[in-house]
């Protein structure tokens, strides 16, 4: 993937249709403080030397660790989440995918929902986990996500929540094992890592005039290593399509496209190639970090992971040697389970998977690679060995695997490898947003969306310039339905009108319910995405690209939802500091 968004003409979000008041499927808002269970969670942020991939740099640690500690809570439980900022810079923390019903002041967007937490200050976030499933917290201030500020959140579903596991197997003992695996589900956080800090990357982007899509390593739960591939191997693994793009050049020694590729469309204006620091596009120094090892007791029959992409720029592909995965929830919502060998995951998305432990006792590589052009990877280990105290089961015990599903470029190793299809999932149980035909259009002239409470809103996101990368659009507050997508120009005044001409591009019967979704890259032509949500949560929120340099570059838009019913700041929040 080549990230060459023009920061100066960032007008990719086009609001076309805005539907008038209809009342459907009200979410019950539980005001903070009504629930009996309060969880206390404290996060102390410090700026320290750290070496997740074996190379020392400054990074943000949370209670001395990276990723931060996992926040686990039960559905409908409330949390008081205290952030102590001992960093030299201001910050704010966003709870990605958490709907913040009734608590918009805890959404963590500095300048919109709160003032930034200054160095030395503390801030108390308070919210209720209305929805179950996999989420994460991360910095929403400048590029701090890329300095390591992230950690998993898991909301245990209430007992009355219907699970889709019977669709995987009709064997009751297996379904019971899946329920048990879900109860013990564990985070698997994928991230991309650089040896420059986020501010150094930003300064280099501004000074050079280039977007910086390359990384130095990938991490699984904060662990990884730096590979320096042999140039001949890099050349050998470079696909014909990438070779055509490279015009006779090689990928660099970090297996990334050289900087002139980023500037191919010339959308940046003057480029200063001498302002590119070591390691940004090239400059490889191998280093060895730790390896994440999962020692699993195979008598449990199934294991569940919440795969969370906390990456700054990379879309990634994940797979486990010799095992398939049942994806059973995405972005904290169940789906009709889908059996795949490899999952492509956009930054900000969460895929929950069940893996059947039906192979011989051994260690199996869990692989993650860049889904784009760079050749960069990380490996964790799934070990069936029983005794976690046995030292031979710990460490870098990757059994030589003859049958990985993917190679280091993410390509399938055989025709039978099944990849996830972002567009193909069906929510469980089915949820149907209403068909709407009574519309009033609004324009995007002031780059804000302003709504009345209860309104249904369609947002059409267009990717109008050729050669653009795929973007990962994330909406704060409640989830949205993915009602349509396609290639070509969007030249309609509403979804209803578009559906008369291109009905096959829409699905109003079983659309996915997501908080992060892709609008496709435009190397093959312009693209668009149509999402729909109901305004149920008055407050100030944001919709933005989750690729960090794009967000830093301004690819964001404020959503002022339900302005007719904005809440008063409660007294407890006035003293949040």
Residues that bind ligand NAG (CB under 6 A): 20, 23, 26, 207, 224-225, 227, 231-232, 235, 249-250, 272, 274-275, 377-379, 408, 438, 453-454, 488-489, 491, 501, 536, 538, 562, 565
Q: How far apart are CA 478 and CA 295, in angstroms?
A: 36
Question: Please, what is the minimum distance in Å from the beta carbon of residue 347 to Cu ion?
Answer: 9
Q: Coil, strand or helix: which one is 245?
A: helix
Give me the half-sphere count of Cα atoms (radius 13 Å) on the Cβ side of residue 239. Answer: 14
Residue 227, binding choice from ligand NAG, Cu ion, none, Cβ under 5 to 8 Å by partner class: ligand NAG
Provide the minimum distance between the beta carbon of 191 and ligand NAG in the complex, in angstroms, as a whole number.
13
Nearer to Cu ion, 302 or 480 (CB): 480
Residue 128's binding partner among ligand NAG, Cu ion, none (Cβ under 5 to 8 angstroms by kind) is none
DSSP 420: P
Residue 394 CB, shortest distance to ligand NAG, in Å, is 17
Residue of 333, 374, 550, 552 that binds Cu ion (CB under 5 A): 550
Residue 408: name its binding partner from ligand NAG, Cu ion, none (Cβ under 5 to 8 Å by kind).
Answer: ligand NAG
Region for 554 from its dihedrals, namely left if φ exceeds 0, alpha if ψ lies in -120 to 50, beta otherwise: left
Cβ–Cβ under 8 Å, residues 350 and 309: yes
Whole-angstrom distance, CA of residue 117 vs CA of residue 108:
10
Minimum CB separation of residue 165 from ligand NAG in Å reads: 31
In this complex, which beta carbon is closest to ligand NAG, that of residue 29 or of residue 86?
29
Q: Is 471 among the residues that bind Cu ion (CB under 5 A)?
A: yes
Judge contact between 187 and 70, C-beta under 8 A: yes
Place of tokens 């007791």: 297
Look at residue 577 and give its three-state secondary structure. coil
* Cβ nearer to ligand NAG, comparing 274 with 445: 274
Nearest to ligand NAG of 91, 227 (CB atom): 227
* Smallest separation, CB 232 to ligand NAG (Å): 5
DSSP H or E stretch at residue 62: strand 57-62
Per CB under 5 A, 545 contacts Cu ion: yes
Q: Are 518 and 345 in contact (CB under 8 A)?
A: no
CB of 472 to Cu ion, least distance (A): 7
Q: How far is the CB of 574 from Cu ion (least distance, A)?
A: 36
Cα–Cα distance, 190 to 217 (Å, whole number): 11
Is the CB of 479 or the CB of 544 nearer to Cu ion?
A: 544
Q: How far is the CB of 529 from Cu ion (least distance, A)?
A: 12
- Give the residue with the Cβ less far from ligand NAG, 73 or 398: 398
Strand pairing report for 150-156 and 71-74: parallel
State the residue for tokens 């008063």: 568
**Cα-based angle 552, 540, 465 (whole degrees, multiple of 5):** 40
Which of the listed partners (Cu ion, ligand NAG, none) does 355 bind, with a CB threshold of 5 to 8 Å by partner kind?
Answer: none
Longest Cα–Cα distance of the chain, Å, equals 66
Taking contact as CB under 5 A, which single stretch among the options 21-29, 93-101, 347-355, 471-479 is the one that binds Cu ion? 471-479
Least CB distance from residue 96 to ligand NAG, whole Å?
23
Q: 550 is in the binding site of which of ligand NAG, Cu ion, none (Cβ under 5 to 8 A by kind)?
A: Cu ion
547 forms part of the interface with Cu ion (CB under 5 A): yes
The residues pairing with 491 across neighbouring beta strands, listed in sequence order, are none
Q: Which stretch binds Cu ion (CB under 5 A): 80-88, 101-109, 464-472, 559-567?
A: 464-472
Collapsed DSSP state (helix, strand, coil) of residue 295: strand
In 3D space, the residue among 266, 313, 260 whose CA is nearest the CA of residue 6 turns out to be 266
Q: Which does 547 bind (CB under 5 to 8 A by kind): ligand NAG, Cu ion, none?
A: Cu ion
Closest CA to 460 of 9, 16, 11: 16
d(CA 179, CA 346): 27
Q: How many residues bind Cu ion (CB under 5 A)?
A: 4
- Scan for tokens 């005039």, then name that residue: 209
Contacts to Cu ion by CB under 5 A: 471, 545, 547, 550
């Amino acid at each position: 993937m080549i990230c060459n968004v023009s920061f100066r003409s960032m007008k990719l979000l086009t609001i076309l249709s805005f539907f008038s008041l209809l009342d459907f499927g009200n979410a019950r808002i539980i005001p903070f403080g009504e629930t009996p269970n309060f969880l206390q969670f404290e996060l102390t942020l410090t700026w320290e030397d750290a070496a997740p991939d074996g190379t020392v740099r400054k990074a943000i640690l949370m209670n001395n660790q990276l990723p931060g500690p996992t926040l686990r809570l039960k559905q409908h439980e409330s949390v008081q989440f205290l952030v102590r900022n001992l960093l030299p810079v201001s910050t704010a923390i966003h709870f990605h995918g958490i709907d913040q019903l009734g608590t918009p002041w805890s959404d963590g967007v500095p300048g919109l929902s709160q003032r930034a937490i200054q160095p030395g200050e503390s801030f108390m976030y308070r919210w209720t986990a209305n929805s179950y499933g996999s989420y994460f917290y991360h910095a929403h201030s400048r590029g701090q996500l890329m300095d390591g500020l992230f950690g998993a959140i898991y909301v245990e579903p209430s007992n009355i929540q219907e699970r889709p596991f019977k669709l995987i197997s009709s064997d009751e003992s297996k379904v019971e094992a899946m329920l048990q695996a879900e109860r013990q589900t564990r985070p698997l956080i994928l991230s991309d890592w650089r040896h420059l800090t986020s501010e150094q990357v930003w300064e280099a982007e501004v000074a050079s005039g280039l977007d910086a899509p390359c990384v130095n390593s990938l991490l699984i739960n904060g662990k990884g290593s730096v590979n320096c591939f042999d140039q001949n191997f890099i050349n050998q693994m470079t696909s014909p399509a990438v070779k055509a793009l490279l015009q006779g050049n090689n990928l660099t020694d970090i297996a990334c496209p050289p900087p002139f590729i980023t500037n191919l469309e010339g959308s940046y204006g003057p480029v200063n190639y001498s302002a590119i620091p070591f390691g940004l596009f090239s400059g490889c120094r191998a280093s060895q970090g730790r390896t994440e090892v999962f020692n699993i007791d195979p008598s449990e029959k199934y294991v569940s992971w919440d795969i969370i992409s906390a990456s700054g720029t990379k879309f990634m592909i994940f797979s486990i040697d010799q095992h398939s995965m049942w994806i059973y929830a995405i972005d904290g919502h169940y789906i009709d389970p889908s059996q795949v060998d490899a999952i492509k995951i956009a930054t900000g998305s969460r895929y929950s998977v069940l893996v059947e432990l039906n192979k011989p006792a051994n260690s199996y590589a869990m692989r993650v690679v860049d889904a784009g052009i760079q050749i960069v990877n990380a490996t964790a280990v799934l070990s069936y060995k029983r005794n976690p105290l046995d030292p031979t089961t710990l460490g870098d015990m990757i059994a030589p695997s003859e049958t990985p599903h993917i190679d280091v470029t993410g390509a399938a190793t055989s025709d039978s490898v099944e990849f996830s299809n972002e567009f193909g999932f069906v929510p469980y149980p089915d949820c149907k947003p209403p068909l709407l035909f009574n519309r009033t259009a609004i324009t995007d002239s002031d780059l804000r969306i302003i709504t009345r409470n209860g309104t249904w809103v369609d947002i059409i996101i267009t990717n109008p310039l050729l050669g653009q990368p795929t973007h990962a659009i994330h909406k704060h507050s409640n989830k949205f339905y993915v009602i349509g997508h396609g290639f070509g120009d969007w030249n309609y005044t509403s979804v209803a009108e578009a559906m008369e001409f291109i009905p096959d591009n829409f699905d109003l019967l079983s659309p996915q319910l997501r908080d992060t979704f892709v609008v496709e890259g435009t190397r093959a032509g312009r693209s668009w995405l149509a999402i729909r949500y109901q305004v149920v949560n008055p407050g100030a929120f944001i919709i933005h690209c989750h690729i960090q340099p794009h967000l830093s570059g301004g690819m964001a838009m404020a959503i002022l939802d339900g302005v007719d019913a904005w809440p008063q700041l409660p007294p407890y929040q006035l003293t949040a500091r």
